[in-house]
Amino acid sequence: MLRAVPAPPELTNTGTMVPAVVVRAALATCGVVLSYVLFGPTGWLALGIMASVAAAWSPRHLLGWALILLLAAGQLAHHPGLTWRFLVLLAGLHLLHLLSMLALELPWRAWVQLAVFRAPLRRYVAIQVPTQLLAVAALLWLAPRHGGHRPITVTAFAALGAVAFVGLALLLSSHRHDPEAEDPRK
């Protein structure tokens, strides 16, 4: 005779649940918005919309990452520089990656607790804050201005990085761990 085993108390009444199709809808919406931001009302927008819907419809074919490549390649048509469009694209491509991974794991008819999204969103913010700051700094220093002049050349930037790396190595090597110096008995 089979007896029903009650669920552990930590698994009952665990919070609000949403249908997993919300992740796919967010993937398609994010792709369409990014396509419009990047391409504007052109023929490429239609390709971006089709790729966004296809990525949400069939995540098993990894079309979300094909959409990321399409949007990244579309950025090459724009002037290199610090614009709001580039920063939105940088954050949006990362969000597309996150949503594509979630859509890949969640079946169509599943229900998901909202708490499931907490850790990926924390990682998203933890990665985006320094990435956006580094992108702003790099574009301010390296992107050519409208006259073609760069505030700092790539060669000078690489030399500056090499000097900083050597300085960091010297700093770390001068603070070697000496276990005898920390022993209070001596």
Q: Is 19 helix (H, G, I), strand (E, B) or coil?
A: strand
What is the pTM assigned to this prediction?
0.72
- Residue 88 clears pLDDT 90, i.e. is over it: yes
Question: pLDDT of 4-43, one tens digit each?
Answer: 555 555 555 567 888 989 999 999 999 999 999 999 888 8
* pLDDT number for residue 160: 80
Characterize 42-65 residue by residue with b for buried, 16 or more Cβ atoms within 10 angstroms of its Cβ, and e for exposed: eebbeebbbbbbbbbeebeeebbb
DSSP 7: P
Tokens of 125: 């913010």
Mean pLDDT of 131-152: 78
The residue ranges of DSSP E strands in the chain, in sequence order, are: 17-19, 111-113
CB of 131 within 8 A of CB of 90? yes
Q: Which residue, among 80, 86, 87, has the nearest Cα to 150 in the 3D structure?
A: 80
Tokens 């048509």 — which residue? 77
Cα dihedral 174/175/178/183 (nearest 10): 140
Query: Within its chain, how far is the Cα of 110 from the centroid?
Result: 25
* pLDDT number for residue 140: 82
Q: Which residue, among 147, 125, 16, has the nearest Cα to 79 in the 3D structure?
A: 147
Longest dimension (CA), the chain: 83
Backbone angles phi, psi at 111, to 5 degrees: -115, 135
Q: Which amino acid is at 88?
A: V
* pLDDT number for residue 37: 93
